[in-house]
Amino acid sequence: MTAPTRPSTIKASWEGLALIVGAGGIGSAIATQLAQRCPALQVLTCGRGGAPDQDLTLNVENDESLARFCEAVRQQARPLRLVFNCSGRLHGPGLQPEKRLQQVNRRQLEEQFSINAIAPLLLAKAIEPMLNRHEAFHFASLSARVGSISDNRSGGWYGYRAAKAAQNQLIRCLSIEWARRWPSATVTLFHPGTTDTALSKPFQSFVAPEQLFSPERAATQLVDLLLEQTPAQTGRFLAWDGQEIPW
Ligand SMILES: NC(=O)c1ccc[n+]([C@@H]2O[C@H](COP(=O)([O-])OP(=O)(O)OC[C@H]3O[C@@H](n4cnc5c(N)ncnc54)[C@H](OP(=O)(O)O)[C@@H]3O)[C@@H](O)[C@H]2O)c1
């Protein structure tokens, strides 16, 4: 599904520095969108691959890498305007979403929590010293609808679901603290919709073609929503169509 249902007409005047962390399928498309739609924004992609694929090297699961990354961000001349966490993992070497209890194990649960829950919060902690109380700033992170506890009717995917639910709680706490300390900031959790990327590839046979977004379409929808966020709305968990998702 490639054509957006509501082509974006929003003109963006954002300036400063935008960091897209985890430039995979959705992250790369968001970086491209932002660069096109916000010409005064310097958009940098950040990930484990490093140059030439990414502008800055960052492993969000490693504290030393986060510290080196922050040093590199401080070298940039522009004020930090946006940090968008688009990293995450559903499967990988030695990691498969569980269908039943007997497939659950400690190492996989720890890996799911490391990337899908702990990493976004420690990313926020790492960049916080660069915030300015009087300058607009947006922190966004990709969660997933399957992280909604009240929406869980089919079970399975224990680790991924629980880690995304934990991310939601951690980032919700962050939004409450930052509303006091950084009143010009917004914090938003997004569900991108099922999107055709490496993350969803093994599971796409369960998805109707009209419900599978291209990364470009997912990015258009998410950037539309992102540009609308105001500090008064901070702390929400939003789906790609702007609907609030129950926790
Ligand atoms: N696609 C969907 O249908 C869907 C649906 C709901 C939610 N989401 C969420 O959307 C986000 C983006 O997913 P995607 O579909 O774009 O998947 P993707 O193409 O697999 O991208 C994930 C990105 O995360 C990066 N990453 C993983 N571990 C990292 C680490 N330790 N440090 C830095 N970067 C790391 C990966 O980089 P490496 O190449 O280094 O591994 C990759 O660039 C995820 O949080 C996912 O849970 C996706």
Closest C-alpha to ligand 1, atom 21: 24
Q: Which of 168, 210, 208 is nearest to 191 (CA)?
A: 168
Instruction: Enter the tokens of residue 212.
Output: 């599978």
| pLDDT given for residue 189 in this prediction | 98
Chain-centroid distance, C-alpha 12: 20
To which CATH superfamily is domain 16-239 assigned? NAD(P)-binding Rossmann-like Domain (3.40.50.720)
In the chain, which residues have pLDDT < 70? 1-11
Report the alpha-carbon distance of residue 225 to residue 138 in Å, rounded.
Answer: 12
Report the alpha-carbon distance of residue 49 to residue 87 in Å, rounded.
Answer: 13
Report the alpha-carbon distance of residue 23 to residue 54 in Å, rounded.
Answer: 7
Pocket of ligand 1 (CB under 6 A): 22-27, 47-49, 58-61, 86-90, 115, 142, 144, 191-192, 194-195, 197-200
Closest C-alpha to ligand 1, atom 1: 195
| pLDDT given for residue 52 in this prediction | 79
Report the alpha-carbon distance of residue 208 to residue 244 in Å, rounded.
Answer: 23
Asked whether 214 and 5 are in contact (CB, 8 A), the reply is: no
What beta strand segments (E) does 22-126 contain?
A: 41-47, 56-57, 80-85
HEC profile of 3-48? CCCCCCCCCCCCCEEEEEECCCHHHHHHHHHHHHHCCCEEEEEEEC
| pLDDT given for residue 8 in this prediction | 52
Taking only the tens place, the pLDDT of each residue in 35-89 is 999 999 999 999 998 777 899 999 999 999 999 999 999 999 899 999 999 999 9
Closest C-alpha to ligand 1, atom 18: 24
| pLDDT given for residue 9 in this prediction | 52
The predicted model scores a pTM of: 0.96
The atom of ligand 1 lying closest to the CA of 212 is 3
Q: What are phi and psi of 79, to 5 degrees?
A: -70, 150
Q: What are phi and psi of 105, to 5 degrees?
A: -145, 160
